[in-house]
Chains A and B, each alone.
Chain A
Amino acid sequence: MTDAALPAIRISEAADELESPTRRALRRLFKRKGAVAGLVVISIFILLALFAPLVAPYDPIATSWSLVRKPPSTLHWFGTDDLGRDVLARVMYGARASLLAGAISVTIALSIGVPLGLLSGYRGGFIDALISRITDAMLACPFLILAIALSAFLGPSLGNAMIAIGVSATPIFIRLTRGQVMAVKVEDYVEAARAMGNPRWRIALFHILPNIMPALLVQATLSIAAAIIAEAALSFLGLGQQPPAPSWGSMLNAAQRFLTNAPWMAIWPGLAIFLVVLSLNLVGDGLRDALDPRAR
């Protein structure tokens, strides 16, 4: 039999085996233009938030009675709000509140949700049943109602809003982690680790957790997007960032009365939320595609 009769071996298969999973995922991620655009936009906003004091043209809480509700001009690119404050500066500083709200609430949700999900999925039995029922109960309550009630309970402030959103988002992570753990714990490498005598916590931490990271990462990205919108909603209801510190949601709250008189007060923070959340969603979707083991 000559070589020609054999089916051609894909050279790339060899190359695939040499590439680390992380590299492969990153490569696939960057192939999706939407995800790349999203990453760029998010990075810009993160930089803006970090360097706001250096970049912002004005003090975001400096009021000016003579400059109330002025339309965009060369002096104030985004116009001024109802107390004469520069909208551009407030959007930049507001990025801090909104991005922080997204990141911290999801961190809270991960810190509570993942361990509980690991426990529930790996141990099984009564603990699993208990945690699952509580998770179901929390999921059965509308997310925003939970967040509003928790926020009201803790008291209106940005920090409390983050806690409220984080706790309300926890059940999603519990359920996701649990599902992933149950799928992974029957895999060979887990069996092998157990056969070698590893204690359960070690298996959970070092063998299972790293393998469910991709799914968690995707969900975390999408949850940050949802958390930013939730922060806007809570601030809109007066339960989030306290005045005069800016946040995109509280800016929208104040802008609502001036839609016909001063629409720029609503357009810019709304646009900011839209861009950040859209980018996060694109990156999340891109990550899901990139980390999908079934894709070519």
Chain B
Amino acid sequence: MNDRSKEPVSKEEGAGEGTNTDGPEQRIKNGMNRRAFLGTVAAIGGTAMVGSGTLARASSDFPGYPNSYGLLTDFTLCVGCRSCEAACNRENGLPEPQKPFDDVSVFEQTRRPDAHAYTVVNRYENPKDKNLPIYRKVQCNHCKEPACASACPIHAYNKTPEGAVMYNEDLCFGCRYCMIACPFYVPAYDYESALQPKIVKCTMCYETRVKHGKVTACAEACPAGAITFGKRDDLIKIARKRIEKDPDKYIDHIYGEHEAGGTNWIYLSGVPFEQLGFPANVPDKPPIELTKGFLSSVPLVFTIWPALFGMCYAAVRHQDDVCNEKIASHKKEEGK
């Protein structure tokens, strides 16, 4: 318990950095201009099949939006009160859950975000102290280069310069390839709906809050200061400082700093992340890097194949002609 009450700075740190938005409009505008420009280039070029799903651009690397927002969840602070779940539910107008948010029996099962919940908290046994379970909040990690966006054939996903990965229901035809691609098993689908099924996932409160530089509903609701909202770059620094200050309490790993190319939602923990159900085998490369090689071969096949197979066709025709000529000349000689 001592850990939790001891860190009053965490929220202030986050809030302080969060509101310190020196000229975000300008930066966002620049980002948009660059996007629009590159999008046009890609459309005209036609060969620019490669690029982040959010940025139709050439196959260069994308370092992520500078100054984007993020969140830091510190599992050593989380008390499992599910206030974040309740706040998220309210903020997004989601249906009332079957069990109320103060019902701790939900912890008997490991849950995942689904069509009715953008975020859930799960309970794990603490190997250091059996009486002090660890709680883990799960929601979209808002990757810097999201696999879901790389997977979507219709561009229904968009990484906003502010950091949120947004999904647009109006563009989705329901192939669910984003769910296959997401390394964190985040997007959920409402299979129950016949006419308007859609992907459901955390929006980082983009429309209502983050767009205006305001803290997300879950972070605001957290009574334990376990969720810090701020600029991602600053959150990384805060996380590093916490590990440095208390190396016995934390393992030396900020989950999301590098995983899947880096995520805007990052995590600190006192036990290895695998023990909290985090996938341990997520490469540091952004997933899109894995398909870049294949997609860059597409224009090559389009240019080389017609010539190559055209030549095969010509060679066979040529052989036929030579053969026919020989037969003809033989016949001529016989005729003489």
> A and B: partners?
no
Residues of B within 8 A of A (CB): none
Residues of A within 8 A of B (CB): none
